[in-house]
Chain A
Amino acid sequence: MNPSDAALLEARGITKIYPGVVALDNVDFQVNAGEVHCLAGENGAGKSTLIEIIGGSYTKDAGTIRLQGREVEFANPRHAQELGVAVLHQEIPILPHLSVAENIFLSRQPVSGARLISYAEMNRQARRWLEVIQADIDPRTLLGDLPISRQQLVSIAKALSLEARVIIFDEPSAVLTIAELKRLFQIIASLKAEGRGIVYISHRLEEIFEIGDRVTVLRNGKLAGTESIGRIDRGTLIKMLVGREIDESQTGGGASSVEGLAPVLEVRGLNRKGVLEDISFTLHKGEILGVYGLVGAGRTELARALIGADRVDSGDILLEGRKLKISSPREAIRNGLCLSPEDRKTQGVFLEKSVQDNICLPSLNSLKGGLFLSYGKIAKYAADFVSKLRIVTPHLQQYVKFLSGGNQQKVVLAKWLGMKLKVFIFDEPTRGIDVGAKEEIRGLIKKLAREGKAVIVISSEIPEILVISDRVAVMHEGRIEALLRRQEATREKLMAYSMGAKSE
């Protein structure tokens, strides 16, 4: 094959295996010169792993990468950059205290004869690259003083200065406003016109159709297909994203209908600039409300707002008809709301503390004998929950870090169970937990609802949402895009709404 005919970048049979998980299974992916190739897939489908491998951050376990026909082996991100592949990460790692120009030219600053850095020359070159993308940014500004959208422009300028032939955008739209995104699309169009290859990762269907030439879909680490944008429609793409395995959606849920149930928590018009937009819903006694959405849709932010961990700009939260003023998690707990956070290991449990300490911490006030803590009561209280929830631990003093993920999650649950709370919010309760334990945790959550608690379960796993929820709220860009009853919720609908497709 003539090298000029070869794809700019061609990855073949890429496989990446983590202990117990095949993150990527024999995936092919190629980018041609002058093309925008979109990469799509559910959370955890393997998109990030693929681009980290193409960008040199991760090593692959099998497969080959060719640049213009020549096989390469990336040692590290810098090596990939030198060979012309640049990744623009969603959360751009920046050096906020250094200037824009220095961030662009770090460790490659132009030097004079005496090997001293020439700031004038560096700023001049930086200005030139910034002008190429028509970014009106003073290269002397500290990067940390710029908003994220402009930081992104700086990293595009950096990619250009590295003479990158392949530029990978990792979900840039997640952090940009609509106007900024328009600008970005113009820039991408001109990069494409120059013959560079662009990889564009996005969750949003409309973006894929607007900017893409081809789209590759990953599903569960496998290639679901590569198609020309011109040849497919939204429906086909959604089908590719979702696959055909809908058999997982067995019936579940506690109450099949919420009619007639007493409302416990009412949320009206919750707003937080750039994060949450006009969130309203009602949560009933004994109901499990599933919240689905893609990463960055605002699910976790909603949970944090409800328990007062983040401030909101406007909106009301009513508990049993009473308006709440919650400004801290402490207040939320007093009022009967609790959160089991997404990041269990850092926010849900104290890894370096014992099972007993973790379970009893929020309830210590009720575990006194007179003035002082009663360790007898504490041990009994903890032992109670350990047996009730069947937490597998050799003894109460075991450090939580030695427990399995499932048992850690049970510890989080036990922590709140003894406190007579009314509303339980679970953010990704079964993430990183093995299958058997997942079932157990879901069972415990359902039991809570049967006992009359109001429960919110946030999850990025559609099967889980379908199994556990009485109703499903689908979030997209900080809004609740749809509020579906259990019977109406299907895999396709959740997928479509979460990508911003209005009801079709």
Chain B
Amino acid sequence: MKPKPNRVLADYGLYFVLLALVLVSAILSPLFFSYNNLANLLTQASFTGLLALGMTFVILMGGIDLSVGSMVGFASILYATVLHGALFTFMPKEIFVYQGAPKLTPILPLPLDVLFVLAVGAFFGLISGFISYRFRIHSFIVTLCVMIFTRGLAVSYTHGQPLFGVPDSISYLAYGLPAKIPMPTIIWLGASLLCLLFLRYTRFGRGIYAVGGGEEAARLSGIQPAWYRIFPYIASGFFAALVGIMMSGRMGCGDPKIGQGWELDAIAAVVIGGTSLSGGKGSIGGTVVGVLIMGLVINILNLLEIQAYPQAMAKGIIIVGALALHSVLSRRRSR
């Protein structure tokens, strides 16, 4: 069977869109290809990109995870808490408006504190996945509840205040520039590569596709769905916690209110990347491109000096437009 032109367009259409956006950006603004702009674009995209990786797992399996934005905020203050070695709930409110250099008494040494927060993120994912699987509640509702709960926990625990005093060592995760490449981008692309290998070259990865594409067919092929159902949420919680730690480093503080609405950016990027919301179809490669497309759209609007709210309007229209186009192309393909 020779590929038909439409098929090429449907399979690689995403890359054409990416290319077109790069060209449009370059034409619209001479600043586009400047180092600062590109580094900035990539750094911004990396945070959405990491969330989108976990989200890809979840959506491939046929679920959705709304809790990642809140998890970023919670992980960010949890990390600061571990550094401070104190539970702040019982302290007077004034302590949060901390100006001077804090005296840190970290609970755990450096790699362990990060691992602890990552583990907590993964654990929250495990809870979401387990509840959704065991009690047959749609993940939309379960993760919505986890989202509300986690945000509430983060904000009430710190009285809504940021926790300062995050050391420079962790800021490197957000600001480091080895070989002039932003550190977040290296983490993002590295993680993407690992996820890609995992989903494409392991039986477990293929099992996620299978369960998402048709649970009964998967079961008849000898797959027990439970872990395939739960694991994606663990991955998603893990990546959200990672982003939370990186955000602490970036801002120099733990902020309970960070990450609001980020889950929607991640979902949009995954879907733009061609992953089907009904599960079983999609790829990490697509998600990476989807993230870049989202980043480019925002970048273009920034370069054109469009204000935040009109920018949001434009973003909404562009995302729906891209998906409609994609749907038309792929329907033509299946004929």
Q: Which residues in B have their C-beta under 8 angstroms from that of A345? A: none
Q: Is the CB of A97 within 8 A of B201?
A: no
- Given contacts A93-B217, A97-B281, whether A115 and B202 have CB atoms under 8 Å apart is yes
B202, B206, B216, B276: which contacts A93 (Cβ < 8 A)?
Answer: B216
Cα(A95)–Cα(B206), bound, Å? 11
Are A107 and B1 in contact, CB atoms less than 8 angstroms apart?
A: no
Interface residues of B in 189-221 (CB under 8 A from A): 197, 200-203, 206-207, 209-210, 213-214, 216-221
The answer on a CB contact under 8 Å between B214 and A94 is yes
Contact assessment for B1 and A116 in the assembled complex, using a CB-CB cutoff below 8 Å: no
Does any Cβ of A come within 8 Å of B310's Cβ? Answer: no
Is A117 in contact with chain B by the CB < 8 A criterion? yes
Does A78 contact B220, Cβ atoms closer than 8 Å?
Answer: yes
Q: Which of A77, A94, A98, A109 contacts B203 (CB 8 A)?
A: A109
A72 interface hit (Cβ, 8 Å): no
For the residues of A in contact with B, the DSSP-based class is loop
Contacts between chains A and B (CB distance < 8 A), count: 65
A393 within 8 A of B: no
A95 and B214 within 8 A (CB): yes
Give Cα A266–Cα B203 distance, bound, in whole angstroms. Answer: 58
State how many angstroms separate the Cβ of B204 from the closest Cβ of chain A: 10
One of A107, A111, A117, A138 near B210 (C-beta < 8 A): A107
- Is A269 among interface residues, defined by CB-CB distance under 8 A? no
- Known contacts A107-B223, A138-B1, A141-B1; A95 and B197 CB within 8 A of each other: no
A340 on the B face (CB < 8 A): no
> A109 is contacted by which of B197, B206, B214, B280 (Cβ under 8 Å)?
B206
By beta carbon, the residue of chain B nearest A115 is B202
Within 8 A of B (CB), among A231-264: none
Among the listed B201, B213, B219, B221, which residue makes an inter-chain contact with A96, where contact means beta carbons less than 8 Å apart? B213
Q: Which residues of A contact B5 (CB under 8 A)?
A: none
**B222, CB-defined interface residue at 8 Å:** yes
Q: Shortest beta-carbon distance, A125 to chain B, in Å?
A: 15
**CB of A106 closer than 8 Å to a CB of B:** yes
Q: What is the minimal beta-carbon distance from B215 to any residue of chain A, in angstroms? A: 9
0/1 per residue, A333-364, Cβ < 8 Å to B? 00000000000000000000000000000000
Q: Are B217 and A95 in contact (CB under 8 A)?
A: yes
Residues of A within 8 A of B219 (CB): 77
Contact at A116–B197, with CB atoms within 8 Å? yes
Contact, CB under 8 Å: A93 / B222: no
Q: Classify chain B: how many residues form its interface, as a range.
A: 20 to 34
A102 at the interface (CB under 8 A from B): yes
Q: Contacts of A108 on B, CB cut-off 8 Å?
A: 222
Q: Let me know if A81 is at the binding interface, CB within 8 A.
A: yes
The answer to whether B213 touches A95, judged by C-beta atoms less than 8 angstroms apart, is: yes
Complex interface: chain B residues within 8 A of A95 (CB): 209-210, 213-214, 217-218, 280
Residue of A nearest to B197 (CB): A116
Known contacts A81-B222, A107-B223; decide if A94 and B202 are in contact (CB<8 Å). no
Cβ B221 vs Cβ A78 within 8 A: yes
- Of the candidates A77, A96, A97, A116, the one whose C-beta lies within 8 Å of that of B202 is A116
Kindly identify, within residues 255 to 311 of chain B, every residue whose CB is under 8 Å from any CB belonging to chain A.
276, 280-281
B60–chain A nearest beta-carbon distance, Å:
10
| Given known contacts A116-B197, A116-B202, A141-B1, A98 and B209 CB-to-CB distance under 8 angstroms | yes
Please, which residues of chain B bring their CB within 8 A of the CB of A111? 203
CB proximity of A158 to chain B, nearest CB, Å? 9
Point out the residues of chain B lying under 8 angstroms from A96, CB to CB. Answer: 213-214, 280
Cα A108 to Cα B201 in complex, Å, equals 12
B203 near A107 with CB under 8 A, answer yes
Complex Cα spacing A102 to B199, Å: 13
* Of the residues B1, B200, B206, B220, contact of A77 by C-beta under 8 Å: B220
**Could you say which residues of chain B place their CB within 8 Å of the CB of A77?**
219-220
A116 in contact with B201 given A95-B218, A106-B221, A107-B221 (CB within 8 Å): yes
Which residues from chain A contact B203 at a C-beta distance below 8 Å? 107, 109, 111, 115, 117
Within 8 A of B (CB), among A104-127: 106-109, 111, 115-117
The reply to whether B213 and A97 form a contact with Cβ atoms under 8 Å apart is: yes
Contact (Cβ within 8 A) B1 A97: no
Given A93-B216, A97-B213: A117 touches B222 (CB 8 Å cut-off): no
CB proximity of B49 to chain A, nearest CB, Å: 23
Q: What residues of chain A lie closer than 8 Å to B334, measured between beta carbons?
A: 145
Interface residues of A in 77-106 (CB under 8 A from B): 77-78, 81, 93-98, 102, 106
Contacts of B209 in A (CB 8 A): 95, 97-98
- In the complex, chain B residues whose CB is within 8 Å of the CB of A115: 202-203
Chain B residues whose C-beta falls within 8 Å of the C-beta of A109 in the assembled complex: 203, 206
Kindly provide the distance from the CB of B3 to the nearest chain A CB, expressed in whole angstroms: 12
Tell me, in angstroms, the Cα distance from A33 to B42 when the chains sit together. Answer: 65
Give A3 to B216 CA distance when docked, in angstroms. 35
Contacting A at CB under 8 A, from B72-112, are none
Closest to B198 in A: A116
Chain A residues with CB under 8 A of B217: 93-95
A residues sitting closer than 8 Å to B (CB atoms) are 77-78, 81, 93-98, 102, 106-109, 111, 115-117, 138, 141, 145
Residue ranges of B at the interface with A (Cβ–Cβ < 8 Å): 1, 197, 200-203, 206-207, 209-210, 213-214, 216-223, 276, 280-281, 334
Known: A102-B206, A115-B203. 13 other contacts (CB 8 A): A78-B220, A93-B216, A93-B217, A95-B209, A96-B280, A97-B281, A98-B213, A106-B206, A106-B207, A107-B218, A107-B223, A108-B222, A117-B206
CB<8 Å pairs between A and B, sample of 8? A78-B221, A93-B214, A95-B213, A95-B218, A98-B209, A98-B210, A107-B221, A107-B223
